[in-house]
Structure 1
Amino acid sequence: MSQKIEGSLPPQAVRSTVQVGRTAAAGADRSEPVEATRAGDSLRLTGEAASLQALQRELAVAPAVDAARVAEVRQALESGSYRIDPAKIADRMLEMDRLLG
């Protein structure tokens, strides 16, 4: 079985429109604009969605960089007291890989 795939949709699919509040009969004129959302329509978010919105607002106002931590690391580097722990870095990389995988 084979089918020819053409680069365009059938004409009836291209011309169809969505109408809110009423159903158009098959073959009826669909050139009228779509109605706007009615004033009585509402949206209710789940608790998780509301929490995500709150978190997004908090992150939007939080600084991108922790200046105090940057100053702390800079001071440790300048004084030579900053120690790199390769095992800790490897553990964190593996943890991140598990979270993303």
Structure 2
Amino acid sequence: MTNKIDGGLPVARAPATHNASATARAGGERGQPVAAVAAGDSIRLTGEAEGLQALERQLGAAPAGIDVARVNALRSAIADGSYRVDAQEIATRMLDLERQLGG
């Protein structure tokens, strides 16, 4: 599973300048201001974000643990119409989960 983290807000960029150099040359025009060098983008991750990245790397490297044969059997049963839903079993498991969560 992959989650994209997107702040949703556009990042402001420094306007481009006409000067090719941020330093004045000796003997050059001294009446003109020297253009400032635009700061580069930087990012600092919180401990929580670093933990999430580590978890994502672990999950990506670990075997998925999916029973492919069972998934394929269920897909074919759904496709040919032979798959039946046991409403009682679903209700029982939902109630068990609710009890486990303290509800």
Band the TM-score falls in, shorter-chain normalisation: 0.3 to 0.5
Q: Which has the higher contact order (CA 8 A, sep 6+)?
A: 2
Q: TM-score, normalised by structure 2?
A: 0.36
TM-score, scaled to structure 1: 0.36
